[in-house]
Amino acid sequence: MLQTESKRELQAAGAQRPDLQKRISARFLRETQKLERWFEERLADINRRHTPVPYNPIAYSYFTLDPPISDSEGIREYVHFHRHREPLRVSEMKDAQGDLDAWDKISRTERDVRILAFGKGPIAPFQEDVVHRQLLQIVICYESERLTAEELTQCFDKYCACGKEIHDPDALRKMRDRFEADLRAGQTNRP
């Protein structure tokens, strides 16, 4: 809004009035700095009131965290988990024991990653609702106390990018339960 208003005023001032243009630009700069200070104060206040936010380690447990890995490995782990609902390291462990289904999963992931890396087109969509799954993962990540189905629905109704204004509490609860079960299964099968 500030930018639009200043642009309109600058156009109205015209090139013949450099003194007026300077004053408009200076006011725009002051108002922008004032807005930035306001945001900083609000963020600091939120941080004071809600720190430390407990982290739920199950949320992104399909990623290898120690030692740090490359971006391409992270993408591989992400694609594998969201394609097959199990961490790549679990499939690799099963593959090392001769499990052909695990080898098929790894092969599919490698194909998807190559398609992405070499720009050979889109990969088949994951068999999940990606928009809801991403928000759900963030909720699980910072959920210090398990939200009720109604609280989860309120969160999704307010922040979900899917376009729906009203979400189904039972459907969200079931989605969370399935997702958490997938995440826990990956932790149970750690090498």
Digits of tens for pLDDT over the chain (191 positions)?
767 887 788 778 777 778 888 888 888 899 999 999 998 999 888 888 877 877 888 888 998 877 788 999 999 999 999 999 999 999 999 999 999 999 999 999 999 999 999 999 999 999 999 999 999 999 999 877 889 999 999 999 999 999 999 999 999 999 999 999 999 988 876 65
Is residue 99 assigned to a domain?
no
Could you tell me if 10 and 24 are in contact, meaning their C-beta atoms sit under 8 angstroms apart?
yes
Task: Give me the domain span that covers residue 184.
Answer: 130-188
Q: According to the model, what pLDDT value does residue 189 have?
A: 67
CB atoms within 10 A of CB 90: 22
Structural domain includes residue 171:
yes
Q: How many domains does the chain have?
A: 2
Residues contacting 114, CB < 8 A, separation 6+: 120
Domain-embedded: residue 54:
no
Q: For residue 63, is it within any domain?
A: no
In this predicted structure, what is the pLDDT of residue 122?
95
Does residue 68 lie within any of the structural domains? no
pLDDT of 67: 79
Please check whether residue 73 lies inside any domain of the structure.
Answer: no
Query: How many Å apart are CA 83 and CA 86, to the nearest integer?
Result: 8
Enter the pTM of the model: 0.69
Residue 134, class by beta-carbon neighbours within 10 Å (0-12 exposed, 13-18 middle, 19+ buried)? middle
In one-letter notation, the amino acid at residue 172 is L
Alpha carbon distance 124, 81 (integer Å): 14
CA 125 – CA 82 distance, rounded (Å): 10
Residue 177 located in a structural domain:
yes
Amino acid at 126: F
Residue 97 lies in a domain: no
